[in-house]
Structure formats: structure tokens, C-alpha cells
């Protein structure tokens, strides 16, 4: 059974600080996706990483896919209050496109 | 750009009633997925359809059924509702269903069973 484990589960930081969220598995994934979810809303796709060792940047967010394609990280530089939310990593399970999700990281950025 | 549309956004039903949730995928997307998200939990896969045929099935109760229609919209039918069915239900759509497929989620339907 494929599992994705995210850490930390909760993170409370001051505006301007940097942070890293980790998504780990013992299984190899063909790709991993990162979503951000606001309370009561649907997950919004931030990025998909496909190639082992790949690094993608989205403004202050940097996403990395592990060389072995078993893990990924999300790094936020100079966090802003607007970054507050639930961050979910997800990966395809099987060949039908269904996703399994990590438990999520709840990020609170205080002014 | 058009997104995944779900209706209704909120639904309150009594125990043992029936509910129907609708999902309109992004235009030209041929695959629809349904997920259930309980409070404080990550989304759990229920069922998916590819080109109007059931593609995969997860932890979906027998009381639930779903289908994808000729216009690619999908409906999730939930009968004999229980208190534990209260959750956010998300529909997602994608073009194709390979391991690199990107799924885009709707805003969800919040179902409350009282």
C-alpha cells in the first residue's frame, strides 16, 4: 500500500520567516503534486513534479522531487500571511489517475 | 479559464434521506474523480470515471452510486444517509488518467446530515 507522510503537521511562524514542508514515502511515484487548500474550499494545484531531482519555483515557493522519486519538499521563502492554509502533497496510486494524499501541513503565518 | 463546477455548494439532509451531488468537469476533460474529506482529514478517493465508464473504485459505501453522462458531467447519488456521511465532497477532473495526469478540483459540496 502506498503511503505519503507529511511533516510537520502543524507549523506556526512569523511573517518573513522561511519554512520547509516534507512529503515522504517508501514507494516510488511517477509524479507528485502539491495542493493548497483553504477552509471549506477545494484543493488548488500548485505544481506537479515528474523527474527525479527536479526543482520547480513558483515565486517564493520552491518544490523539489527526490532523486529516487520517493519524496518531495516545499520550501517557502519569506512567508506572508497570505500563505496561510493547508498544504497537501499527493501522488497517483495505480494507473487510473486516482490520488492518495499526505495528511497535510497546516501553516499559519502570523503578522 | 473554466474550472470544475460542483453543485450544490451546501446541502443539509436528514438521516435516511437521499442526496445527489453534481459535477461539471473542465471542458474537454474526460476523467472525473470523486473524493470525500472529513473534518481535519485528507481527501479520500471514492470513485472515478473515464470516458463515461467506471475506471476505479475506492472506499465508497454500497449506499453510494455514481455515473458519468454523455456530456461528461457526473453525479454522485447517496442514499440512506447517515450522520457519518457529513463531509466535504470534491469532484476533480483531468485530461487522461496516466501517472502524470494533473487533477483539478472543484470547490466542493459540504454535506451535513442531521
Contacts with A, B 23-42, CB within 8 Å: 31, 33, 41-42
- Please give the pLDDT value at position B113: 98
Contact B104 A92 (CB under 8 A): no
Contact B45 A31 (CB under 8 A): no
Q: What are the chain A neighbours of B90 within 8 Å (beta carbons)?
A: 42-43
B94 touches chain A (CB under 8 A): yes
Q: How far is A66 from chain B (nearest CA, A)?
A: 16
**Angstrom distance (rounded) from CA B95 to CA B54:** 15
- The cell for A91 is 501522488
Q: How far is A99 from chain B (nearest CA, A)?
A: 7
**Site of grid cell 517557502:** A76
Percent of chain B with pLDDT over 70: 98
pLDDT one-digit tens code per residue, B62-114? 999 999 999 999 999 999 999 999 999 999 999 987 767 899 999 999 999 99
pLDDT one-digit tens code per residue, B25-58? 999 999 999 999 999 899 999 999 999 999 999 9
**Which domains does chain A show, CATH number per domain?**
5-110 (2.60.40.10)
Query: H/E/C letters for each residue in A32-81?
Result: EEEEEECCCCCCEEEEEECCCCCEEEECCEEEEECCCCCEEEEEECCCCH
Amino acid at each position: 500500500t502506498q503511503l505519503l507522510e507529511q511533516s510537520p503537521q502543524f507549523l506556526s511562524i512569523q511573517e518573513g520567516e522561511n519554512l520547509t514542508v516534507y512529503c515522504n514515502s517508501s514507494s516510488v511515484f511517477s509524479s507528485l503534486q502539491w495542493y493548497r487548500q483553504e477552509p471549506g474550499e477545494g484543493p488548488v494545484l500548485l505544481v506537479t513534479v515528474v523527474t527525479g531531482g527536479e526543482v520547480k519555483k513558483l515565486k517564493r515557493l520552491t518544490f523539489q522531487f527526490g532523486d529516487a522519486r520517493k519524496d518531495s519538499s516545499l520550501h517557502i521563502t519569506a512567508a506572508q500571511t497570505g500563505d496561510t492554509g493547508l498544504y497537501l502533497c499527493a501522488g497517483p496510486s495505480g494507473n487510473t489517475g486516482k490520488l492518495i494524499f499526505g495528511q497535510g501541513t497546516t501553516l499559519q503565518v502570523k503578522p | 479559464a473554466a474550472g470544475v463546477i460542483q453543485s450544490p455548494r451546501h446541502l443539509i439532509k436528514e438521516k435516511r434521506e437521499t442526496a445527489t451531488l453534481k459535477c461539471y468537469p473542465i471542458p474537454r476533460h474526460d476523467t472525473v474523480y470523486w473524493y470525500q474529506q472529513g473534518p481535519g482529514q485528507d481527501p479520500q478517493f471514492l470513485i472515478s470515471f473515464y470516458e463515461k465508464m467506471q475506471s476505479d473504485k475506492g472506499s465508497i459505501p454500497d449506499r453510494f452510486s455514481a455515473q458519468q453522462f454523455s456530456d461528461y458531467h457526473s453525479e454522485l447519488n447517496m442514499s440512506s444517509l447517515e450522520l457519518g456521511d457529513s463531509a466535504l465532497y470534491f469532484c476533480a477532473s483531468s485530461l487522461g488518467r496516466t501517472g502524470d495526469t494533473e487533477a483539478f478540483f472543484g470547490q466542493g459540496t459540504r454535506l451535513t446530515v442531521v
